[in-house]
Amino acid sequence: MKARKHSEAQSEEIATAGEVFGDGKVIELIRDAAPNGKLRLLDWNGSRGKPLERCTVADRTYVPISLDPPIARALVLPSGTRPYGSTRQLFDEISSLVFSVTRWPERAVTPFVFYVLATWLFEFLPAAPCLWITVPPAASTGTLLQIINLLCRRTLFLTEATVAAFRLFPTQLKPTVVTEVSTITYPLLQLLRTSSRRGFLSASGGKWVDAFCAKIVVSRQAPRDPEAAGFPLEIVLPPSGEYIPRLDAFEADRIASEFQPKLLEYRLVNHQKITKPSFEIRGFSAPMRELAYDLGACVVGDEGLQGQILAHLEKDDREIQVNRSSLLESIVLEALLAECHDPQVSNVSVTDLTTSVNTILAARGEAREVSPENVGWKLRHIGLRTVPVTGGCKGLALPNEIRSEIHALAAGYGVRALYHGTGEGKCPECKAIQEEKKAG
């Protein structure tokens, strides 16, 4: 009886969209070369692959996953692998193709190609980058959607990106989900943010859904609040008077047949080689630093090429830092910095701090005024707890360790005075922070 159970366990078939094993072996979902060809598995042994109907690894037999017919028909899958040369060669070939098909400027093509490579390797990153493409009014999106479908990994187009829609396709498929949006809604932003993190589950229809995958949003509007969308990679397409025709079926098939196998081999050869890029970006905000590292890491083996992503993220990073410096928390810290730079001050009351905050707001042309209660809550929000100070008021004592903490918080919130103005040239902590930013 035990022998029969063991035999049954050995013969059990496991439906899969792909498996990655620790020894470099990979099983990948592919399709026969014929139109609407049958799904197969590519058995990759670390250097070459073999298409199979079923694949046995360590007494387990894997078969291609069963997909709903609309999904199976919609997926563009490679039929095998093809040598891609070097990372630089593949990157340049894709860039040339995208330019020839879309006529985008280099400032749009380069970050797009970074993202294409990321769709083939995002599973091996801490986070799945999201791409937000803003399209000019009245411009056609047909060619854009075609090139996305032909180059990105396992593209699925959803009329509406919702948790319920994600529940309808196998989570192990890990597709590149593309959606066109006319109205930016809170549920969409929430899904974009949470689905970028591995292991974040969302509830839908009584089930838990793991929506971790690559995502592309095509919209007429730029995201008003990038933070709410999880800080996507943003590309704004310029208006063009030139008519860009859609690719015909023959040309689309040719592009898919050439590039999907190259990109699959790029994934298979490099998935174990992903490491933190060598570039230093200490001057960037934390969200843009993470995005730069994720996108750069997917350009494997070419440090010079990796660093090109930085120029395309600088503008977005500056906007984040400006927005961050306008937060009330930043202004409270700016007022605290002034107190820290006066060696005669041993503490500051919340009332006096509020007066300083309102003075800064007025100097910047803002009509709003804040109350001591608002300031007290902001202090607590950033981790600074008030205590009784001189006169029985609530406030902050300013021993050296608290002054150091205020400087660190000010750097984190991008407080302007830390780099331009109060304390510059006099405060050693300001000077150290300034030098670190310059070095980054």
Whether the Cβ atoms of residue 123 and residue 174 lie closer than 8 Å to each other: yes
| Terminal CA-CA length for the chain | 67
Q: Which residues of 56-95 are buried (b: 16+ CB within 10 A; e: fewer)?
A: eeeeeebbbbebeeeebeebbbbbbbbebeebeebbebbb
- Please give the pLDDT value at position 209: 76
- Please give the pLDDT value at position 5: 47
Residue 228 is given by DSSP the state T
C-alpha distances out from residue 49 to 40, 66, 246, Å? 12, 22, 34
Confidence of residue 124 (pLDDT cuts 50, 70, 90): very high
Q: What is the CATH number of domain 326-439?
A: 1.10.10
User: Using CA atoms, how far apart are residues 438 and 283, in angstroms rounded to an integer?
Assistant: 7
User: Using CA atoms, how far apart are residues 109 and 96, in angstroms rounded to an integer?
Assistant: 9
Q: Return the percentage of the chain with pLDDT > 70, whole number.
A: 92
DSSP H/E element including 376: helix 372-381
pTM comes to 0.78
User: Using CA atoms, how far apart are residues 184 and 22, in angstroms rounded to an integer?
Assistant: 41
Confidence of residue 249 (pLDDT cuts 50, 70, 90): very high
Confidence of residue 11 (pLDDT cuts 50, 70, 90): low
Beta-bridge partner residues of 15: 63
User: Using CA atoms, how far apart are residues 417 and 331, in angstroms rounded to an integer?
Assistant: 10
Residue 296 has pLDDT above 90, yes or no: yes
Q: Show the tokens assigned to 277.
A: 């890029």
In this predicted structure, which of 40-49, 136-145, 277-286, 355-364 has the lowest mean pLDDT?
A: 277-286
Q: What residue spans define the domains of the chain?
A: 2-66, 87-321, 326-439
For 372, the 3-state DSSP assignment is helix
What's the order of all strands across the beta sheet hosting 18-20?
18-20, 26-31, 39-44, 49-52
Residue 1 has pLDDT above 50, yes or no: no
CA angle in degrees (0–180, nearest 5) for 389-395-399: 75
* Most confident range, picked from 178-187, 255-264, 279-288: 255-264
Q: What are phi and psi of 77, to 5 degrees?
A: -125, 145
User: Using CA atoms, how far apart are residues 414 and 405, in angstroms rounded to an integer?
Assistant: 14
Residues in CB range of 399: below 8 A, 6 or more apart: none
Residues in CB range of 251: below 8 A, 6 or more apart: none
- Please give the pLDDT value at position 325: 60
Residue whose C-alpha is closest to residue 281's, from 130, 436, 413: 436
Confidence of residue 153 (pLDDT cuts 50, 70, 90): very high
User: Using CA atoms, how far apart are residues 118 and 393, in angstroms rounded to an integer?
Assistant: 54
Q: How many residues does the chain have?
A: 440
CA torsion 334-337-339-344 (nearest 10°) is -160
Residue whose C-alpha is closest to residue 94's, from 25, 148, 138: 148
Its CATH architecture, for the domain 87-321, is 3-Layer(aba) Sandwich (3.40)
Beta-bridge partner residues of 51: 42
CA angle in degrees (0–180, nearest 5) for 298-85-98: 65
Q: Which is it for strands 39-44 and 26-31: parallel, antiparallel or unpaired?
A: antiparallel
Q: Show the tokens assigned to 216.
A: 């592309």
In this prediction, residues 254-278 reach a mean pLDDT of: 95
In this prediction, residues 112-132 reach a mean pLDDT of: 94
Residue 142 is given by DSSP the state H
What's the order of all strands across the beta sheet hosting 387-388?
347-349, 394-397, 387-388
Q: Which residue has the tokens 């990994």?
A: 153
User: Using CA atoms, how far apart are residues 29 and 16, in angstroms rounded to an integer?
Assistant: 8
CA angle in degrees (0–180, nearest 5) for 42-90-140: 95
**Percent of the chain that is helix, strand, coil (3-state, to 5):** 45, 15, 40
- Please give the pLDDT value at position 7: 46
Residue whose C-alpha is closest to residue 198's, from 207, 211, 187, 209: 211
User: Using CA atoms, how far apart are residues 93 and 102, in angstroms rounded to an integer?
Assistant: 14
Could you report the per-residue pLDDT of 74-112, keeping only the tens digit for each? 899 999 999 999 999 999 999 999 999 999 999 999 999
